[in-house]
Amino acid sequence: MGLSHQLRNHAEPIWDQILNHKFISQLGDGTLSLDRFKFYLRQDFLFLVEYARVLAIASAKAPDLEGMTRFATLLHTTLSEEMSLHRRYCAGFGITKDELEVTKVAPATSNYANYLLAVAHQGTMREIAASLLPCQWGYYEIGLKLATEGDLSNSNSYAEWIRTYSSDEFRELADWLRGYLDQLGRDISPTDHKHLEQIFLMSCHYEYQFWQMGLSKESWLT
């Protein structure tokens, strides 16, 4: 078993909670309220901006040409396909470009982005890959689960979102990042393995908090 699946097994309890989160279940059957989805979209847009910065650092830190190229490709996919998806959704739901630009970052968004940026700036390539994998892998598994169990008819306003994240393109990116981490994780010490477990698990917890934020429409206390 490769390192990526070992980390996933270690994080299984929180991973299952993510896959079965109420926000995600309601995305799948189309019952999620539009105000919650719009709140999530605006926060995810802000998160993706910072996520792109992490990918840029990863491309610069990658020890090989393959890693540099792949992270640059993932950066391009994030900035083009995912950002494009968000802009289309936002426009369709009446969220203008100006409204996106003045959106205030929520605590969960800020905490998750800052964590990934800290790992990217301070960590090794192996640590960066471990911190990124729960998002990339998790979104594809969520998309696949909802594509299998959810409502993909035109009556579900979120069917396009489901099709996007269950697509072959996202599967291939998740597969590559898992394989890359497995390659970087060969013959690591028990101490390093434990450290990567902590990094992976922390990102999983931030993923959960992000979905919970969408459900509660979390904001800073004023």
**Whole-number Å distance between alpha carbons of 161 and 151:** 11
Residue 159 forms part of a structural domain: yes
**Whole-number Å distance between alpha carbons of 107 and 213:** 8
Do 58 and 128 form a contact (C-beta atoms < 8 A)?
A: yes
The helix or strand, by DSSP H or E, that contains position 29, with its residue range, turns out to be helix 22-29
Look at residue 93 and give its three-state secondary structure: coil
Residue 221 forms part of a structural domain: no
Q: For 13-23, write each residue's pLDDT tens digit.
A: 999 999 999 99
Q: How many domains would you assign to the chain?
A: 1
**Whole-number Å distance between alpha carbons of 65 and 59:** 9
Catalytic residue among 135, 141, 172, 204: 135
**Whole-number Å distance between alpha carbons of 113 and 97:** 21
Annotation marks residue 82 as catalytic: no
How far the first Cα of the chain sits from its last, in Å, is 48
Residue 112 forms part of a structural domain: yes
Annotation marks residue 207 as catalytic: yes
Supply the DSSP symbol for 123: S
Structural domain that includes position 175: 3-215
**Whole-number Å distance between alpha carbons of 179 and 175:** 6
Residue 222 forms part of a structural domain: no
Residue 179 forms part of a structural domain: yes
- Residues in the chain, how many? 222
pTM for this entry: 0.94
Q: What is the CATH number of the domain that holds 41?
A: 1.20.910.10
pLDDT at 169: 85
Do 200 and 10 form a contact (C-beta atoms < 8 A)?
A: yes
Catalytic residue among 82, 127, 141, 207: 207
Residues 6+ apart with CB under 8 A from 112: 47, 203, 206, 207, 209, 210
Q: For 66-109, write each residue's pLDDT tens digit.
A: 889 989 988 888 888 778 777 877 888 788 888 888 899 999 99
Enter the tokens of residue 109.
């968004």
Q: What mean pLDDT is predicted for residues 103-122?
A: 97
Residues 6+ apart with CB under 8 A from 211: 18, 21, 23, 24
Residue 220 forms part of a structural domain: no
The residue type of 30 is G
Q: For 133-186, write each residue's pLDDT tens digit.
A: 999 999 999 999 999 999 999 899 999 889 989 999 889 989 999 999 999 999
Residue 128 forms part of a structural domain: yes
Look at phi and psi of residue 68 and say left if phi exceeds 0, alpha if psi is from -120 to 50, else beta: alpha
